[in-house]
Amino acid sequence: MSNYFQKEIECAPIEQIRAIQNEKIVKQVRYVWEHVPYYRKKMEEKGVRPDDVRSIEDMHKLPFLSKADLRKAYPYGLLAVPLKDCVRIHSTSGTTGKRVIAFYTQADIDMWSECCARAIMAAGGTAEDVCQISYGYGLFTGGAGLDGGSHKVGCLTVPASSGNTERQIMFIKDLNATILCCTPSYAAYLGESMKEMGLGPDDIPLKAGIFGAEAWSEEMRRSIEETLGIKAYDIYGLTELSGPGVSFECSEQHGMHINEDHFLAEIIDPDTGEVLPEGTQGELVFTSLDKQAFPLLRYRTRDICTLTREKCSCGRTHVRMAKPKGRTDDMLIIRGVNVFPSQIETVLLNNGYAANYQIIVGRVNHTDTFEIKVEMTPDMFTDNVGEIDERRKVLADDLKAMLGIKAKVSLVAPKSITRSEGKAVRVIDNRKI
Ligand code: DLL
């Protein structure tokens, strides 16, 4: 059985993809110039006109858009169609400053659903499947995006949304859910709760999970796959570009194929803005090639990753992005050293811990303090203080080897760190800088 939603595009020769992109970019740049005065002004400031962009080779001439631009233009400044042509908005959970609001026409929603349908089929989904969507529904794009994809594939869609963990498990069992969509941290929590209820992987019908919206490591993938008895697929996206489904993993589980007929990716040096060659790590920049309501050209995602065009044995030809390593704004600079939460997660999982941890950063006498609170698993938990301290020392050493700086490590009781039903909150930065 085919696991492509649109094989002719997903597996098209690269020349054909390039031709599609070249045709679309010329149109899209002119469209934005004519309909988005905010971006037109940026182009004028840079001395670029639509005629200067004849193919994707000319992308570098265009100005970048950043989250700051989106905030400045809030709420309607980047809208390219009359409001009466929009049918939906979604919004980021933005913890700082103004939220970003993205607008969609019906055509934008259809394109987005197709991207998510490609992701579901790549994970083995068919019309025979029951797809339980446990991403939040509402302003967050996770629920609505995968819901649209699930309908396109023809799965029986269970719009469970997030929360109410016992009910989630009951639905999985009673409705024979075969595909689960949620954040990886919530998938891990569901697994943990299942164990507590005395349920193992053989007691549930799930075969695949489509997990994204936050960074997660290979170790976390293996742990979830084992607990739930599934194959776990990564999915990436962001509200500004539509939501989940900008890219997705195939059965190779080796990078996420970017839906290149809709989204053009570049990697840049985050400091200089210079475009970097394939394979080099840098900041991911996206251009939406055919969005109508909220078209973004050269949007800086702040996600750090690499791209590869190496042949993929699944047959898809679209460029793959590595799991984002973190975000430029997630990256903590502690005593001058760059620290990514994902590095800590890798060490924890390699040492047999679950990924339940919190990073607490502060500043005392102009020096950064750095604490990592880590939950023990129930089988590690003991009242033997010496044993716990021994364990703590081993972990502290491994963390220091990975991060290059020393952290105060404390081991805490199972379940004492608050669980998230959506994206996990890992970092508490108390420094006032
Ligand atoms: O998180 C959209 C989404 C929903 C993606 C469900 C996948 C599944 P935002 O809330 O706007 O949108 O957050 C976007 O989340 O720039 C990344 O930093 C991060 N992110 C999303 N997917 C992944 C992933 C949704 N698979 C921001 N791995 C992005 C790592 C991810 N980070």
Residue 330 alpha carbon, nearest atom of ligand 1: 18
- Amino acid in position 106: Q
Q: Which residues of the chain have pLDDT under 50?
A: 95-96
Q: What is the CATH number of the domain that holds 373?
A: 3.30.300.30
Sign of the dihedral defined by the CA atoms of residues 66, 67, 72, 77, in that order: positive
| CB atoms inside a 10 Å sphere around CB 92 | 18
Domain membership of residue 1 (yes or no) is no
Residues in contact with ligand 1 (CB, 6 Å cut-off): 92-93, 135, 141-142, 212-215, 234-239, 243-244, 301, 303, 323-324, 327
| Same domain, yes or no: 323 and 355 | no
pLDDT of residue 422: 86
Strand (E) or helix (H) holding 409: strand 408-412
Residue 324 alpha carbon, nearest atom of ligand 1: 30
| Same domain, yes or no: 293 and 410 | no
Of the three residues 305, 328, 351, the one that is the final residue of a domain is: 328
Range 144-171 burial, b when 16+ CB lie within 10 A, else e: bbbbbbbebbebebbebbbeebeebbeb
| Same domain, yes or no: 250 and 347 | no
| Same domain, yes or no: 118 and 171 | yes
Give me the number of domains the chain comprises: 2
| Same domain, yes or no: 206 and 286 | yes
| CB atoms inside a 10 Å sphere around CB 428 | 12
Residue 215 alpha carbon, nearest atom of ligand 1: 30
| Same domain, yes or no: 73 and 99 | yes
pLDDT of residue 211: 97
Domain membership of residue 323 (yes or no) is yes
| Same domain, yes or no: 107 and 234 | yes
| Same domain, yes or no: 103 and 122 | yes
Protein residue with least CA distance to atom 21, ligand 1: 213
Domain membership of residue 40 (yes or no) is yes
| Same domain, yes or no: 100 and 189 | yes
| Same domain, yes or no: 114 and 186 | yes
Crossing angle of helices 106-122 and 141-153, in 10° steps, is 70
pLDDT of residue 149: 98
pLDDT of residue 433: 54
Give the DSSP per-residue string, 97-138: SSPPEEEE-HHHHHHHHHHHHHHHHHTT--TT-EEEE-SPPS
Protein residue with least CA distance to atom 6, ligand 1: 142
| CB atoms inside a 10 Å sphere around CB 385 | 8
Q: What is the CATH number of the domain that holds 310?
A: 3.40.50.12780
| Same domain, yes or no: 346 and 270 | no
pLDDT of residue 300: 97
* From 214, 294, 304, 427, mutation site for ligand 1 pocket: most ligand atoms within 8 A of C-beta: 214
Domain membership of residue 50 (yes or no) is yes
| Nearest residue to 424 (alpha-carbon basis) of 220, 183, 156, 102 | 183
Helix (H/G/I), strand (E/B), else coil: 311: coil
Domain membership of residue 2 (yes or no) is no
* From 217, 303, 420, mutation site for ligand 1 pocket: most ligand atoms within 8 A of C-beta: 303
pLDDT of residue 240: 96
pLDDT of residue 93: 63
pLDDT of residue 24: 98
- For the stretch 394-412, pLDDT in tens is 999 999 999 988 999 999 9
| Same domain, yes or no: 308 and 338 | no
User: Domain span at residue 388?
Assistant: 333-429
Of the three residues 328, 354, 385, the one that is the final residue of a domain is: 328
**How far is CA 41 from its chain centroid?**
31
Q: Which two tokens stand for residue 267?
A: 């990697």
- For the stretch 348-376, pLDDT in tens is 999 999 889 999 999 888 889 999 999 99
pLDDT of residue 258: 98
Q: How far is the CA of 294 from the centre of ligand 1 (A)?
A: 18
The DSSP symbol for 275 reads: B
Contacts of 169 (CB under 8 A, 6+ apart): 190, 193, 194, 197, 199, 204
- Amino acid in position 26: V
Q: How far is the CA of 239 from the centre of ligand 1 (A)?
A: 8
pLDDT of residue 432: 65
Is the distance from CB of 373 to CB of 360 less than 8 angstroms? Answer: yes
Residues in the chain: 433
